[in-house]
A and B are shown apart, each in its own frame.
With several copies, the nearest count.
Chain A
Amino acid sequence: MLHKIKLPVHSIAHGRAGDKGDVSNVSLIAYNKFGWENIRENATEDIVLSIFKHLGATSVKRYELPNLMALNFVVQNALGGGVNSSLRLDRHGKTLSSYLLYHLILNVSLDMMPNNSPYREKFK
């Protein structure tokens, strides 16, 4: 089994955030099937909810798209009221994808990463 280290999910997946009212959706898309197995197993609704909790999130629903190696998280009440009533600088929550990519820490092995990933240095 390959050596694993704790890294932000940014090392093995990417994503984008969208908003509708006070509901945010954040996608998490693996770069390859090894990364996909990791996020499918470990990027749970509970852990994502705990990450967005401080923003007011009350629940998270996860959807899977195995064909596309993608997860979609629908996060309730994480937008401070939504674009029309939020006092946040980022009223749409468009930066929330970055927040998840940084704060979701997983055990990651080299085979989950793209070939050119700067995170490969961490294994040296």
Chain B
Amino acid sequence: MFNYVTMSKKVYIGCGAGFAGDRYDASIPIVEDFKSINEPKYLMFEVLAERTLAIAQQYRINDNTKGYSPYLDYYIKPVLEDCLEHKIKIISNMGAANPLGAAKRIVEIAKEKNIRKPKIAVVLGDDILNYMSEKDILNSPTMEGLDIKNSKITAANVYLGAFPIANALKKDVDIVIVGRSVDSALALGPLIHEFDWDAKNLNMLSSGTICGHLLECGAQVTGAYFADPGFKDVPDLFNVGFPIAEFHENGDFFITKPKNTGGLVNKATITEQLLYETHNPNEYIVPDVVADMSKLNLLEKEPNKVLVKGAVGHKKPELLKATICSESGFMGEAEMSYAGPNALQRAKLAIEVIEKRIQKIGLQGKTRFDIIGAGSVHFSSSEENTYNNELDGDYRIRSAGFFENKEDAEQFVAETYSLYCSGPSAGGGARTSITKETSTASILIDRNIVEPQIKIEII
């Protein structure tokens, strides 16, 4: 039997952020744990949502030193010095629309903190607007999302795989910055590099991908987004430890979390995260492999440490997925509360007033109305909800609408705000907002178009 304690080369990967709004201090306990580990160790930050890139592109167009993650400083500053000192390599997609700019900013942070200049590799090539015509992009087969034929493209990026990250690590760098990559590649890249896997090690690539998939949402694998008090309790959720993977050369790995943190790692937390954003678990497709989860086994070896084994890999896809962003007008949202006796009926009347006003003033746009407190996230206001609600109580109406022009969105939210004087009795607490919207679509591109364009630059 494989002895996980003594026989194996091990690689440690911690995840310090699972999305753009994740906690800025989450990586500190991981770094503390890593200080006493002598094996190769990596810290990944996943901070790039689908729509983020369109916004980032806009920042870059306005100022060519910007366009990387606006949260870069928050994530990097608390740990940069310790990472450099203790040889913890950072892998992140903080590059967003400007990976070179992100690298330069990290060098600046090092200078500001008076610590040694980090050596940073930057992976380029995900921005297909640099090498595909808008026409070729719009004529590509679409996978999901809206029809993009008539869109003004604001960003178009292909999801790169893990080999560019592995190749970047060969240059003996401290940090690798990418733009758009599949999230799991932030873990698979270091594993390919450390274990020297090639593209044919399909089961290994699959296990590394599944490991990355489990890590990529931060604490979602260590008990966060899991707690359901009384049913699924999680200790000290406020202090949840972000995940650490201990990956062994035989392809098995453990998921655990730092010392002195809250949270929970067990089969249940792992299984929830394993299936998160997974469709067919036998065919989890990334650029490097098609991962098969169907033979996976989970073993709770010790408290908060689970062994994951049994990943199987199939041949990598010929087509790569790219996300196309385009502008899609404005969303107006507005809310108003009704409480006390007969509140539900007053809330319903308020919505009736708004709907008839929209009709009267001839506002064109897709709209939706909810009553918060009466099943709003599962039912719109025009549906019977299936929860137990009383007429009396606390209800908050919400109006939402998409409009091509900002002015129409403003007029739309004004129709909720004006309920202060012109609505049913005793409405209070109005709030309104207007958001510029981006729509996205996914297309498929032949990988032979993409691969020659991938480049690594050293900063």
Instruction: Mark out the residues of chain B between 223 and 257 whose CB falls within 8 Å of any chain A CB in the assembled complex.
Output: 225-226, 228, 230-232
Instruction: Name B230's closest neighbour in chain A (CB-CB).
Output: A118
Instruction: Name A54's closest neighbour in chain B (CB-CB).
Output: B383
Residue in A25, A89, A103 whose CB lies within 8 Å of B377: A89
Number of residues of chain A lying within 8 A (CB) of chain B = 53
Are B400 and A68 in contact, with the CB atoms below 8 A? no
- Chain A positions within 8 Å of B366 at CB level: 87
A57 contacts chain B at the CB level, 8 A cutoff: no
Partner-contacting stretch, out of B32-40, B196-204, B356-364, B423-431: B423-431
- Chain A positions within 8 Å of B296 at CB level: 65, 67-68
A40 contacts chain B at the CB level, 8 A cutoff: no
Q: How far is the CB of A77 from chain B (nearest CB, A)?
A: 11
Residue in A8, A85, A118 whose CB lies within 8 Å of B402: A85
Q: Roughly how many angstroms separate A95 CA and B341 CA in the complex, as a whole number?
A: 11
Are B328 and A84 in contact, with the CB atoms below 8 A? yes
Instruction: Name B384's closest neighbour in chain A (CB-CB).
Output: A54
Q: How far is the CB of B54 from chain A (nearest CB, A)?
A: 9
A111 contacts chain B at the CB level, 8 A cutoff: no
Instruction: Mark out the residues of chain B between 271 and 306 whose CB falls within 8 Å of any chain A CB in the assembled complex.
Output: 271-282, 293-298
Q: How far is the CB of A29 from chain B (nearest CB, A)?
A: 5
Are B338 and A98 in contact, with the CB atoms below 8 A? yes
Residue in A19, A91, A118 whose CB lies within 8 Å of B231: A118
Q: How far is the CB of A106 from chain B (nearest CB, A)?
A: 13
Residue in A82, A95, A99 whose CB lies within 8 Å of B429: A95
B residues with CB within 8 A of A = 50-51, 143-146, 220, 225-226, 228, 230-232, 267-268, 271-282, 293-298, 310, 328, 331, 337-343, 366-368, 370, 372, 376-380, 383, 386, 392, 398, 400-402, 420, 425-429, 437-440, 442
Closest 9 CB pairs of A and B: A98-B340, A21-B144, A90-B428, A18-B277, A94-B428, A27-B275, A87-B368, A89-B429, A90-B429
Can you report 22 residue pairs joining A to B where beta carbons are below 8 Å apart?
A: A14-B226, A14-B232, A16-B272, A16-B273, A16-B276, A16-B425, A21-B442, A25-B279, A27-B275, A27-B278, A54-B383, A65-B293, A68-B296, A72-B275, A72-B278, A84-B50, A87-B368, A87-B401, A89-B377, A89-B428, A97-B340, A97-B426
